[in-house]
A and B are shown apart, each in its own frame.
Chain A
Amino acid sequence: MFDYAKYLRMDKLPHIWCYGCGNGIILKGAVRAIDRMNWDKDSVMAVSGIGCSSRATGYVDFNSLHTLHGRAIPFATGIKMAKPELNVIVFTGDGDATAIGGNHFIHAARRNIDLTVVLFNNNIYGMTGGQYSPTTPQGYFASTAPYGHIDPSFDIVQLAMGSGATFVARSTVANPREMEKFIHEGLKNKGFSLIEVVSNCHERFGKRNKMKSPYEMIEWIRSRAVSKAKAETMEPEELEGKIVTGIFRQETRPEYVETYDRLVVQKAGGGN
């Protein structure tokens, strides 16, 4: 039996997430992946922004920092620069990381600074009542899209890859074992890692889109999930609306703070 009490602040439970919310599944996957790293809890630093996903930092028994909307990644960057020995994990959401915090997301990926970003993608702004996010699918409804949503979505995996992240993966809450494995792989990567986890918000998204229950929404996610290997055999039209899952990039590139210390500090004649 996995000892969740070892990693969760049990006195802070029950959590604020709605019944059946996928965020709990992601949190569970994250702590199980962290456990596999055998890290001292004192060495783990969890940083989040604002939104439903970002409440995760309150429940984990690590060093934890609940920051401003969109800014988890730059706060985490400062922590890593000041104390690189900390294992820094960012919990963020689709709105937090790709709308208000989009600029920070791409620049941290470009630097390849050693942060593991677990991005809870529920395709909506849940906490504020169901407004559309950069990943709300076209044609669906949101509180600010009462006539149907017209914006094209971000492909967060492509965004991370184009920005230079060295580990990029996508999974869903319908496949918790795969998700846990991907987060573990991301934690192992010395560099910027992005694990997008597609999650369900039946309360704010599902109810407006004929999927009232967690079951219906998770089924909707499961039915659209396609592995990367299978996707490679499919035509673009067949991939429309699908969620392609898998590890999209896993490579080694010099990490930012290590490079700073190796090149800048040495040339400056200092020592950290």
Chain B
Amino acid sequence: MGDIKFLQGNEACALGAVRAGLRFFGGYPITPSSEIAEQCARLLPQAGGRFIQMEDEIASIASIIGGSLAGAKSMTATSGPGFSLMQEALGYGIMAEIPFVVINVMRGGPSTGHPTGPSQGDIMQARWGTHGDHPVIALYPESVPETYYEIIRAFNLSERFRQPVVFLMDEILGKMNESVEIRDDIEIIPRKKITGEPSQYAPYAIKDDVPQTANYGEGLRFHVTGLFHDETGFPDVSGENIQKSIDRMFRKIAMHEDEVAKWEETGASEPDVLLVSVGIQARSAKMACKELNREGISAGVFRPVTVWPFPEKRLAELARKARKVLIIEMNKGQLADECRKFISGDKIVALNQLNSEMISPEEIMSTVKGVL
């Protein structure tokens, strides 16, 4: 057993990141994420890393892309308005296949919205916020301990696939405290060491769908661009190359979904009523589920931890056997809309609330009873 620490969600996020090997943080203050930057400012110079507060969120994400290319595991943290500003560079990271992590501690939007209130309104921004077609990995923990371990998994996935990873947190989670057991046995995927003959080196030579890109300044000189490029890293905007590149980027994640996907199932194993919820809201759903089970109602909870790619195969299986699928979100139904792609519409019940409070277990229970 490891040490037990009583941590705030944002603090656990920073500690987990440093444990995962974070060595460079560039960020800009924004509620409710600022403690992540503050912790990184404190921790990184102790850990052989560096911290910088940039002039805005665009500069922040640009700086961490640079930091990552130079070999330092890098991250930034923000909230909705800052996440909107970061979208163009997030797309750059996806296109140029650069590992880094972007944390979005979500607050009420649109616009300045409600800086100190919770909302799950950025689930779709995480998926489609940047322009163009692109794959996305986004993780979404429900508790402080899970934040600690999932941020480590975010870095690992990012290194494994050379893909930016979006890390969604609820405002409530960022600001709440819980106990975290800091285990010793954690797998950390280091930055891959790339060697080769400098004159022959191709930074975007693909192996198992993932480019073999070195760090800058380690003896292999190469070019990186946000334009479509060939395996040498130089622009190639032929239709053939564009199609091939996008197909391969999607395949990179889709073909390895078993390594990326993660969800939790609780309650009845083949429930009549399936409750679908993510992040902090899922804890309320789980509480409702327990109570419903006690009353003899066949209910279960499906909670995606990897929210993108959405674990639709397993959810579709469960939904087929269920009479109703109740999708519980603090937004206008972003996941419910996603579920309508593969779950029959008459089964779906969307329970949504945007009043800066979580949807209570009681409300979930009464909704379940009303639709059965």
Is B350 an interface residue when CB atoms closer than 8 A count as contact?
no
Which chain B residues numbered 102 to 141 have a C-beta less than 8 Å away from chain A? none
Is A265 an interface residue when CB atoms closer than 8 A count as contact?
yes
B47-59 Cβ-contact flags toward A at 8 Å (1 or 0)? 1111110111011
Is B89 an interface residue when CB atoms closer than 8 A count as contact?
yes
A-B contact count (CB 8 A): 149
**A interface residues, tally (CB under 8 Å):** 42
A65 x B66 contact (CB < 8 A): yes
One of B177-185, B224-232, B287-295, B308-316 at the interface:
B224-232
State the main secondary structure of chain B at its contact with A. mixed
B56 x A78 contact (CB < 8 A): no
Q: A residues within 8 A CB of B68?
A: 78, 82
Name which residue of chain A comes closest to B224, CB basis.
A65
Name which residue of chain B comes closest to A270, CB basis.
B46
Kindly identify which residue among B54, B59, B72 contacts A82, using a CB–CB cutoff of 8 Å.
Answer: B72
Given A81-B24, A269-B46, A270-B45, also A68-B217 (CB < 8 A): no
Is A264 an interface residue when CB atoms closer than 8 A count as contact?
yes
B217 x A42 contact (CB < 8 A): yes
- Cα distance A121–B56 when bound, in Å? 25
Min Cβ gap A5→B in Å is: 14
- Cα distance A260–B47 when bound, in Å? 14
Q: A residues within 8 A CB of B67?
A: 78-79, 81-82
B70 x A82 contact (CB < 8 A): yes
A46-79 Cβ-contact flags toward B at 8 Å (1 or 0)? 0100000000011001111111100100111111
Category for how many chain B residues contact A: 35 or more
B64 x A78 contact (CB < 8 A): yes
Kindly identify which residue among A66, A74, A76 contacts B225, using a CB–CB cutoff of 8 Å.
Answer: A66
State the main secondary structure of chain A at its contact with B. helix
A82 x B23 contact (CB < 8 A): yes
Name which residue of chain A comes closest to B229, CB basis.
A66
A74 x B45 contact (CB < 8 A): no
- Cα distance A71–B65 when bound, in Å? 11
- Cα distance A271–B54 when bound, in Å? 22
A78 x B24 contact (CB < 8 A): yes
- Cα distance A257–B45 when bound, in Å? 12
Name which residue of chain A comes closest to B92, CB basis.
A68
A77 x B52 contact (CB < 8 A): yes
Q: A residues within 8 A CB of B42?
A: 268
Is B192 an interface residue when CB atoms closer than 8 A count as contact?
no
Is A177 an interface residue when CB atoms closer than 8 A count as contact?
no
- Cα distance A80–B70 when bound, in Å? 8
A63 x B52 contact (CB < 8 A): no
Is B69 an interface residue when CB atoms closer than 8 A count as contact?
yes
A12 x B92 contact (CB < 8 A): no
Is A43 an interface residue when CB atoms closer than 8 A count as contact?
yes
A74 x B221 contact (CB < 8 A): no
B46 x A77 contact (CB < 8 A): no
B59 x A58 contact (CB < 8 A): no
- Cα distance A137–B183 when bound, in Å? 64
Is A85 an interface residue when CB atoms closer than 8 A count as contact?
yes
B48 x A270 contact (CB < 8 A): yes
Is B88 an interface residue when CB atoms closer than 8 A count as contact?
yes
| A-B contacts besides A45-B217, A66-B223, A75-B65, 11 pairs, CB < 8 Å | A65-B225, A71-B58, A74-B63, A77-B66, A78-B26, A78-B70, A82-B67, A82-B68, A83-B72, A107-B54, A268-B46
Q: Which residues of B contact A (CB under 8 A)?
A: 23-24, 26, 42, 44-52, 54-56, 58-60, 62-72, 74, 88-89, 92, 215-219, 221-227, 234-235
> Could you show 6 A-B contacts with beta carbons less than 8 Å apart?
A42-B221, A61-B221, A65-B66, A75-B62, A268-B42, A272-B48
Q: Which residues of A contact B (CB under 8 A)?
A: 12, 41-43, 45, 47, 57-58, 61-68, 71, 74-83, 85-86, 103-104, 107, 257, 260, 264-265, 267-272
